[in-house]
Structure 1
């Protein structure tokens, strides 16, 4: 099937209209029928985004209570069996790390990586609103950080989307170089996130390395962390272009001959090596890792996974 742009999108410029469209889209991934994460990770589960069980009280054991919920400390102290009661959590904080640095402003086919990232952020924001969770974000342009504290209902989602649109436009016309390390953004996440948050990192992770693992690991100790890598087909060596072109990773600039199989294979191998390193880091920290391409519409990629 030929890849087509989502409604209201030109693949380069970000508009509020294209992000608002995901408010209607999010119903497709609301539990119990489906789960966005089971779609992305290929798991047969339907756990709600950001939902868990919160401790409520302890009372004396009654016939039919789940023995796994017995509070053994209270039981030992009183000499009578007691059981823990739990209630479903409400308004859990969902905090997004959104990478809008220069490496994300790249796209060889359908759209920029930054646009795909914004589409996923919008879907997550509207899912959070639908499930009565609070949505916040740390938006990282590489030279400034915008912190949005988790806010409930439409107000939080709309503030996030408007910030993305404004900052994306600013970044497209900016040539400023990176002025600080990712550690600054991870420190901002720690400030913005209350304990027990869902933290979702949306990035190409080109600025991440093993040096950032300790701070990520600390975040994952008290929060559920997910990593979503946004990549472009060209970064994986997939392109129909066969000419010679000057390319840069914002650290080095060189000419590449895309008509050479060796060149395309080298690009593919470098990407796979970086992705393997990221996956291993996620595995060590016990966080989930998934990926999206800027070469196809978001809904096409999510629908491509079977439940």
Structure 2
């Protein structure tokens, strides 16, 4: 790991500490609506100011039977040729549940920090933001072999419980590298994300905000019926974490053995066609995710591990 200068305070880019994650408590104030919404900033959209009595405009989705006809968004309907409805959320305490992927592929970083560390920073920022908005925060942590549910809780206890669990599971996995390489004999590779999505379905009351954080390599079907089911009754957001090496961006020019826990191979990074082929495969995966999110009305954000989180968030327009 190089370039420590742009890591946030208390962070070494590999292990997690409570001080490192508590740093985002004081940062969360910069992203509080209505002055500035984090989601409006990173997706380039602007949430409208409050409408009517205690209602916030949330999003637009395809019309479903039973929707109030007065809420139809005629501009989107005309543009897409399909009826779309404006959704509003009441100003009340709502559960926000994070899906946190701590499976082996997330423990990777070629420059500044591991993808898992960047994701933990985002989880911390979102947790404190959620509490500042008077919402409850919970999580499903998925190691690929085990699921840990954290029920949505309000006030500071919510983020602290979540962050302590996250730090412990993250650092335990790092301290037992063989655990990632040799899971229980019955199953040699991490399970798909389906069990995590099922856990979210069980844990989240209708009307929750669900934020999926992962590199999504274990999402076997981007058009998964489980995603559709979650999306029916909740606001779902997807934050995709990546490392430059995954799309062939590296200053290294030579042969390197790479592995994805199932198989390993040698890649010649001095070959332009090798790097291009890595980039194409990555883009195929990314475009599949983006298309799926678009068709399901899920907001999609990409975050890289090669820059500090706040640097990237303030760079988004």
Aligned pair in 2 of structure 1 residues 211, 299: CA closer, same or farther (>3 Å)? Answer: closer
Q: What are the equivalent positions in structure 2 for 1:230-245 lying under 5 Å apart?
A: 230-245=241-256
The Cα shift of 1:242 comes to 0.8
The Cα shift of 1:147 comes to 0.2
Q: Runs of 5+ in structure 1 lacking a partner?
A: 55-67, 70-85
If you compute each CA radius of gyration, which structure gives the higher value, 1 or 2? 1
The Cα shift of 1:209 comes to 2.5
The Cα shift of 1:181 comes to 2.7
Residue matched to 2:238: 227
The Cα shift of 1:211 comes to 6.7
Give aligned pairs, total: 273
Q: SS at 2:267's partner residue? A: strand
Residue matched to 2:107: 105
Q: d(CA) in 2 for partners of 1:163 and 1:46?
A: 35
Residue matched to 1:277: 288
- Partner of residue 22 from structure 1, selected from 16, 21, 24: 24
The Cα shift of 1:182 comes to 1.6
Q: d(CA) in 1 for partners of 2:294 and 2:241?
A: 18
The Cα shift of 1:198 comes to 0.2
Residue matched to 2:262: 251
Aligned pair in 2 of structure 1 residues 154, 47: CA closer, same or farther (>3 Å)? Answer: farther
The Cα shift of 1:88 comes to 4.1
- Aligned residues of 1:26 and 1:126 also touching (Cα < 8 A): yes
Q: What are the equivalent positions in structure 2 for 1:281-296 lying under 5 Å apart?
A: 281-296=292-307
TM-score by length of 1: 0.85
Does residue 165 (structure 1) correspond to residue 176 (structure 2)? The answer is no
- Partner of residue 116 from structure 2, selected from 114, 136, 153: 114
Residue matched to 2:202: 191
The Cα shift of 1:89 comes to 2.6
Q: Where in structure 1 do 4 or more consecutive aligned residues deviate above 4 Å?
A: none
Q: d(CA) in 1 for partners of 2:298 and 2:310?
A: 24
- Partner of residue 143 from structure 1, selected from 142, 145, 159: 145
Q: Runs of 5+ in structure 2 lacking a partner?
A: 57-69, 72-87, 184-188
The Cα shift of 1:53 comes to 3.1
- Aligned residues of 1:28 and 1:34 also touching (Cα < 8 A): yes
TM-score by length of 2: 0.82
Aligned pair in 2 of structure 1 residues 179, 244: CA closer, same or farther (>3 Å)? Answer: closer
The Cα shift of 1:45 comes to 3.1
Q: d(CA) in 2 for partners of 1:161 and 1:211?
A: 28
